[in-house]
Amino acid sequence: MFLPPDLASIREFRRALRQSLEENTFISKDIQQIELAADEALTNSISANYNSSSEETIICRWIVDNSKFTLWIVDYGSGLKKEKIEEQVAEAKPSSLQEFLKKVKTYQEGKCEVLPNRGKLTQHRNLGKGLLIMQSLMDSVKIMYHCKEGRISSDPTDSSIRGSIIELAFDSKKHSL
């Protein structure tokens, strides 16, 4: 799926993703988890493209193989910075959903960003803990970078980064217990 770096793209993306997961008999609870994590990843990519002044198309591709779902989102932002990754990894996982939501709300109160929505710049407050949300909902989250000369790197300090590749994986059999 090829999407413009605009928040309006999220609705189309979620609709196509939901339809694909329903056709592959994923249960509603798993679909909701995958949708939320995928929504966060796409929002991050839209933000990355916008903040890098890139109008390049964002590429979203997924595969469903039996109970396993894998999604890749490719953007043309500056790449997720090493400090941001380390900050998320070092942060203690919340002990409950309420604690998690409180952390997100507190973080968001001090953070607001302007992003394109239907071609117009709009305030968007739901930013800041997307990586943590993805890690909480998915079985695997990988961050890679596409670089000059078509290279793929896992090094966030690589000087030739052209954008990020986010890989999300979910196995519904692991969650059916």
Q: Model confidence at 25, in pLDDT bands (50, 70, 90)?
A: very high
3-state secondary structure of 155: coil
Share above pLDDT 70 across residues of the chain, in percent, rounded to a whole number: 79
Query: Does the pLDDT value for residue 45 go beyond 90?
Result: yes
Task: Please state the pTM of the whole predicted model.
Answer: 0.80
List the domain boundaries for the chain.
2-174
What average pLDDT score do residues 149-165 get? 91
Query: Does the pLDDT value for residue 54 go beyond 60?
Result: yes
Q: What's the pLDDT at 128?
A: 56
Query: Does the pLDDT value for residue 169 go beyond 80?
Result: yes
Q: What is the CATH number of domain 2-174?
A: 3.30.565.10
Q: Model confidence at 99, in pLDDT bands (50, 70, 90)?
A: confident
Residue 102 contacts by C-beta under 8 Å, 6 or more apart in sequence? Answer: none
Residue 140 backbone dihedrals phi, psi, to 5 degrees: -150, 135
Picking from 21-30, 86-95, 157-166, which range would have the lowest pLDDT averaged per residue? 86-95
